Structure 1
Amino acid sequence: MRPFAYRRAEAVEAAVGQAGKFLAGGTTLIDLMKLDVERPAQVTDITRLPLREIAPDGEGVRIGALATMTEVAEHDLIRSRYPALRQALLAGASQQIRNMASMGGNVMQRTRCPYFRDTAFKQCNKREPGSGCGALQGNSRKQALLGTSDACIALHPSDASVALVAYDARLTLHGPEGEREVALADFNLLPGETPWLEHDLKDGELIVALTLPAPIAGNGVYLKVRDRESYEFALSSCAATLQVEGGTVKAARFALGGVGTRPWRVPEAEALLVGQPATEETFTRAARLILAGARPTAENAFKVPLTERVVVRALSAAARGQQEGRA
């Protein structure tokens, strides 16, 4: 780890506008600093900021950015109204990490692509712009097949972000010029030709809260398929909420993880479900639509049929009112 300047912020206004990196739980930043991937000249400790409250916000809920994964997963509002988010949080890390990791840090997670995390690999456009993408011709089994480009196929790793996007979450960002809101679905940027630009966070801005609107009247499910049962990132996942009346879908929201360069949601696939019978045939059509445009490699092509089955199973579970969280 390289030397860096350390400071502690006691108020939000004192934190924003600072150069370098913000330190909350540190479960991503410190790892990357040890790997020499992140090299901040300054680290600002924000753990004392008053940003941990979880409270009603109109008909929805506002979550302080420093609330931990555990605090959110165990909160009564999340348990009762946003079950897919709770399931995603519990599936996303070990208990020790959930006790430390903040919600703001969770949505800022950087990819686990080995070509990004190991500086011995010279080709990584995220780490060294213009150097190429080693995963394109290398180990791509766990990389993305949606939202990719010729410059980058790195997978977005967050489980919680998949559920948050399905619930229409918005981020409140505080910077030198005040506060602004952005939809989480738009916060993470597609790699395009500039994969080193990963999110819509301006210099000196800080995530201060996540806000969820009232969920649709129905059931929520997060289904995750992975190589092993615990402490593993998704090969494919789906967060789904459905409102079904008389066997017909009245409203639907679902998003994919483990397959995209960001949490993947296609409103047209949700619209296709509305007014249709809640059947496997209907869910299969929606799954194929959300996967349209996939660009798999030879090593991760298996994710296309796998994800189709994950979507159908998640939507079927939501329709039945089951609370399945693992596969």
Structure 2
Amino acid sequence: MEPFSYTKVSDIRAAIAAGQRGGRFIAGGTTLVDLMRETVERPDSLVDIGPLPLTGTTATPGGGLRIGALVRMADAAADPRVRSAFPVVSEALELSASAQLRTMATIGGNIMQRTRCSYFRDVTANCNKREPGSGCAALEGYNRGHAILGGSDACVATHPSDLAVAFAALEASVHLEGPGGTRTVPFAGFLLRPGSTPDREQALRPGELITAVELPALPRPLRSGYLKVRDRQSYEFALTSAAIALHIQGGVIRAAKVAAGGVGTVPWKLPAVEQHLLGKRPSESLWAEAAQRAADGARPLRHNGFKVALLERTVERQLRVVGGTR
């Protein structure tokens, strides 16, 4: 463990000022503390934002929800409003990490967590996320768990969050507060693909703080759910996953929201699948046809070509479940 300073703040402006000075925000600490122990992260200053008043969940006009950045994962998963209006979110949360971690980890921290790529966490390996310009050991290494979508010559690490996949599917937005005031970023633009700068992972400006994530008011009735496929059934990250929300009215799909996890460098929206579903009647053949578009644009690596078919099957299975034809 490297030496660092520690400050606890109870005021948002004080937190922003500390962030401007280079302090790293910490709340539950379920990711950052581990990375510090492994010397992957070596912050000079930690700013404990746990006391900030960001723990509320409120309804928005039309049936949306605004979830505070410091709401614990376990609390969000158990919230009756989340479970009723957005089952895909509560299911994604309950399939994340362990029960112990979910009681500590926060919503804001979850979407900020860093990749579980073994090369990123091995300080002896080349990793452009950890040390820009050093190279990406995963490209020619063992890359079974890595991305088939959204990768670059600089990085092919997957984003690990289940919750972020649900947020991507629902087209959530992230509320931020910083030195320049408040702003809102669409979730699709908040997490960044690696490109040539894989060390820059979020669209945050210096000193900015996540204050909430907002789920939009989507058409009702809305059916939704989350499916996670992994090597073992507990405390494991996704090989593939699917977050799906469907608005079916008069026997026709009026709106479709679909995203995948475990396969992209960020949670991966699947617009081709969504478009194929719109205006059609649910059927087994429709789910299969739509799912065949789930891996459009995929670029498999040496050890993860199986993810193409697995992603298609994952999306098809969850479409059947959410669509009510299983």
Above 0.5 in TM-score? yes
| Mapped pair 1:7 → 2:11 | no
Deviates more, 1:237-246 or 1:52-61: 237-246
| Mapped pair 1:203 → 2:206 | yes
| 3-state secondary structure, aligned to 1:191 | coil
C-alpha distance in 2 between matches for 1:291 and 1:278: 21
Give the structure 2 partner of residue 320 of structure 1: 324
Contact 1:216 1:242 in 2 (8 A): no
Give 4+ residue runs of structure 1 displaced > 3 Å after superposition: none
The C-alpha deviation readout for 1:192-245, integer Å capped at 9, x for no partner, is 111111110111101010111123322111001000010000000000011223
Q: CA RMSD in A?
A: 1.3
Matched residue type, 1:140 = N
The C-alpha deviation readout for 1:144-196, integer Å capped at 9, x for no partner, is 11001111100100000101111111100110111100011111111111111
C-alpha distance in 2 between matches for 1:216 and 1:198: 31
Contact 1:219 1:321 in 2 (8 A): no
The alpha-carbon distance between structure 1 residues 321 and 2, as it changes in their structure 2 partners (threshold 3 A), is farther
| Mapped pair 1:99 → 2:103 | yes
C-alpha distance in 2 between matches for 1:46 and 1:4: 16
* Residue 192 of structure 1, aligned match among 192, 195, 198: 195
C-alpha distance in 1 between matches for 2:219 and 2:140: 42
Contact 1:265 1:290 in 2 (8 A): no
Deviates more, 1:267-276 or 1:236-245: 267-276
Number of residue pairs aligned between Structure 1 and Structure 2: 321
Deviates more, 1:177-186 or 1:285-294: 285-294
Give the structure 1 partner of residue 133 of structure 2: 130
C-alpha distance in 2 between matches for 1:77 and 1:127: 39
State how 1:1-327 maps to structure 2 within 5 Å. Answer: 1-17=1-17, 18=19, 19-59=22-62, 60-121=64-125, 123-217=126-220, 218-320=222-324
Contact 1:156 1:258 in 2 (8 A): yes
C-alpha distance in 1 between matches for 2:90 and 2:201: 25
Percentage of pairs with the same residue? 50
Deviates more, 1:248-257 or 1:83-92: 248-257
Deviation at 1:246, TM superposition (A): 4.6
TM-score (normalised: structure 2):
0.96
Give the structure 2 partner of residue 325 of structure 1: none
Deviation at 1:281, TM superposition (A): 2.7
C-alpha distance in 2 between matches for 1:120 and 1:5: 26
C-alpha distance in 1 between matches for 2:5 and 2:300: 42
Matched residue type, 1:132 = G
The C-alpha deviation readout for 1:76-121, integer Å capped at 9, x for no partner, is 1101000010000000111100000000000001000000011021
Contact 1:82 1:215 in 2 (8 A): no
**Structure 2 gaps, min length 5:** none
**Structure 1 gaps, min length 5:** 323-327
Matched residue type, 2:122 = D
Contact 2:284 2:325 in 1 (8 A): no
TM-score (normalised: structure 1):
0.95
